[in-house]
Chain A
Amino acid sequence: AQTVTQSQPEMSVQEAETVTLSCTYDTSESDYYLFWYKQPPSRQMILVIRQEAYKQQNATENRFSVNFQKAAKSFSLKISDSQLGDAAMYFCAYRSAIYQLIWGAGTKLIIKP
């Protein structure tokens, strides 16, 4: 069965610095999509970035970028120039033609002012 693992329950970073959140997944499929969602204290689930498995180029959205290593089944999120508003739970998720979103357990990101 497909699984998504976030091995870091909590991470902290100094404001304006860079932090990387880890995510690994297990699948036998070749076509799938990966997502990072952010959940601030308001509980709203907000899409941060997505990656198509068939694309070799890593996705970027402003200060957010991913390091997608398909062979290693790794999908990490890098946040540059961290801001106080980035403090949230971050969830990695996997989706394929067979499976709806499969979620990791989440990483709590703390931003130190």
Chain B
Amino acid sequence: DAGVIQSPRHEVTEMGQEVTLRCKPISGHNSLFWYRQTMMRGLELLIYFNNNVPIDDSGMPEDRFSAKMPNASFSTLKIQPSEPRDSAVYFCASSLGTVARETQYFGPGTRLLVL
């Protein structure tokens, strides 16, 4: 089992640039979650999908952030334009479903630095 795969692992960009983070969930999992982790705010749920459909995007900070899941094996989180305050570690996680008993398995994260 390859686990959740995220790319890139590290990203350094300049303010104003577009950033795209990618995630491949565990095969067979139908729920996917995007989190952001910062020292100040800890772990925050940005958005989650069930069967490729966004269920709750209330955690997306603003219109600069967008997420898509075109199929069961791929999702993107895009920031356009990026700002220094977007610097964080972004995690993707997947689970068999959204019900409480299903454990979420995390990818290795993407460390984003916006200069």
- A residues at B contact (CB < 8 Å): 31-33, 35, 37, 42-47, 50, 52, 91, 95-97, 100-101, 103, 105-106
Smallest distance from the beta carbon of A45 to chain B beta carbons, Å?
Answer: 4
Give B111's nearest chain A residue, CB to CB: A43
Interface of A is mostly: strand
Smallest distance from the beta carbon of A1 to chain B beta carbons, Å?
Answer: 13
Question: Is there an interface contact between B108 and A44, defined as CB atoms closer than 8 Å?
Answer: yes
- B residues at A contact (CB < 8 Å): 33, 42-43, 45, 48, 56, 89, 91, 93, 98-101, 103-106, 108-109, 111
Decide: A43 near B89, CB < 8 A? Known: A100-B56, A103-B42: yes
Question: Is there an interface contact between A33 and B101, defined as CB atoms closer than 8 Å?
Answer: yes
Give A52's nearest chain B residue, CB to CB: B101
Q: Which residues of A contact B108 (CB under 8 A)?
A: 42-44
Smallest distance from the beta carbon of B33 to chain A beta carbons, Å?
Answer: 7
Question: Is there an interface contact between B100 and A95, defined as CB atoms closer than 8 Å?
Answer: yes
Question: Is there an interface contact between A100 and B33, defined as CB atoms closer than 8 Å?
Answer: yes
